[in-house]
Structure 1
Amino acid sequence: MAASLRFNPTSIPSLYPISTYKSFTPVRCGPRDNRGPLVKGRILSTEAIQAIQSLKRAQRNSSSTATVTPLPSLSRLIKSDLLAALRELLRQDQCALAVHVLSTVRSEYPPPDLSLYADVVVALARNHLKDEIDELIEEIRSIECDDEKALVRLIKGVIGAGRKESTVRICGLMKENGVGSRKRVGEYVVKVLSKGLRRLGEVDLALEVEREFGELSRVNSDKLTIY
């Protein structure tokens, strides 16, 4: 009887029921810091990494043996992987390998952008590979005008390396493709080219550039392409 009259708190319903609702703090998605956007071409795919490794391996084999090991073909790579590999090799100052990749870009995805030639020339000049600059410029068959920033970088790179013949060749290619007659280039292009020719001792050609190119050096609306 005493046991049945014992107070049991669990038998009394709670006056303040416990809510089963759980609150959540919302999370907003956004930038974690002040980092800028990823640079295009710096994210390497597995294929691009393997291509770079195979090129370096072939280069090491050639330097360690008496026989020359040919560099592997890269024609299987898509354009984005080739460009990423090219930029990474230039970043590492692997100029000979970068030239090989550029040759593949030219054969598989013609015509290559002038900016690629400018990037390679700048790297070659930085590493004092002057003869290689001449060989690269010799491969260019045509220059038409659109990307004047790339054209200026190319001219500055060649002039900075002291390559007179290559500078004269660039000037000749521009004339062959109508620059100064039916096509126009900006005043800054004319100024850089003329100043560089004078620096290399080609005063007469500099005057000719100023006279012929300068007449139409207002606004450039044509397209610069390499074939």
Structure 2
Amino acid sequence: MALSSLLNPNLFLVPSSLSPLHSPSTRSLAITCGPRDNRGPLQRGRTLSTEAILAVQALKRAALSGDGAVPSPAAAAAALGRLLKPDLLAALAELQRQGRWRLALVVFAAARRETWYTNPDFSLYAEMASAMARGAAAAEEIDALVAELLEEKEGSGGFSPSDDVWKLTRLVRVLIAAGRGEAVRDLYKRMKRGGCVGDEYLFRVLIRGLRRLGEGEAAGEVERDFDEWYEGGIITETLPV
């Protein structure tokens, strides 16, 4: 074949009537892309935004410039005042992970003043108490945290049957692991007063935990409540205070 014929632009053209693009039997195909790798989802609180990183660093610098424990209220407000909810919670989790529980308390207090924080969150209190216990906080400091929770709960209407039992159980387990029997007793009394009695698992955790902490009388009270009022997996009425 001559070179001139190879360069002829009309040599390999297909008539429009025979073109596959114009064939009535041709169907469009949807192309989907599979996963690009095997990485799992990002873990909440472990990937910090730039704002959260800067806030954590600012709190540490402010603490060093003061007494070395916590920054001044003005410095804390400057570091945390413009953070959005995800960044504030991420900074809180990061300080807890680093064992800087005193700084984490500053962030926790700031979070509780935000407009989106409308009801005490048992899981946030549980994580805070756990960080304090790991950091060898004094027993009185953990008890003070629980007292703040109880006061905050009373201010929002008190305990109720609609409270999140799973989160509450998490908090009870943390307090038992920290050896805070008195705080567990106070928490259970407020639960009973508000009609929040939990489920069978929470009762078991309370009974075993209180006994392990040497709180036999309180454990007996919880066990009597369980035997008297928990029938067939259903709480029949509010427990007596």
Question: Match of 1:54, as an amino acid?
Answer: A
Of 6, 28, 31 in structure 2, the residue corresponding to residue 14 of structure 1 is 6
Question: Match of 2:174, as an amino acid?
Answer: G
Q: How does 1:168-207 map to 2 (within 5 A)?
A: 168-179=185-196, 184-207=197-220
Distance 1:195 1:19 in 2: 85
More helix by share: 2
Name the SS for the 2:5 alignment partner: coil
1:83 aligns with 2:89: yes
1:135 aligns with 2:152: no
Question: Match of 1:77, as an amino acid?
Answer: L
CA pair 205-78 structure 1, distance change in 2 beyond 3 A: same
CA pair 161-130 structure 1, distance change in 2 beyond 3 A: farther
1:49 aligns with 2:56: no
Moved more, 29-38 or 88-97: 29-38
State the aligned residue count: 201
Which of the pair has the greater relative contact order for Cα pairs under 8 Å at 6+ separation? 1
Please report how far the alpha carbon of residue 46 of structure 1 lies from its aligned counterpart in structure 2 after TM superposition.
Answer: 2.5
Unaligned 5+ segments in structure 1 are 1-8, 21-26, 221-227
RMSD of aligned residue pairs (Cα, Å)? 3.0
1:185/1:213 contact within 8 Å kept: no
CA pair 69-206 structure 1, distance change in 2 beyond 3 A: same
Question: Match of 2:6, as an amino acid?
Answer: S
Q: What's the CA shift string for 1:91-132, capped at 9, x where partnerless?
A: 212211111111111121232421111111112112221332
Distance 1:32 1:54 in 2: 37
1:185/1:216 contact within 8 Å kept: no
Question: Match of 2:167, as an amino acid?
Answer: A
Unaligned 5+ segments in structure 2 are 14-30, 154-158, 236-241
Question: Match of 1:89, as an amino acid?
Answer: L
Q: What's the CA shift string for 1:38-96, capped at 9, x where partnerless?
A: 1233332222222111111112223569x974451124322222111111111212211
Distance 2:58 2:204 in 1: 43
Distance 2:72 2:97 in 1: 24
Please report how far the alpha carbon of residue 133 of structure 1 lies from its aligned counterpart in structure 2 after TM superposition.
Answer: 1.3
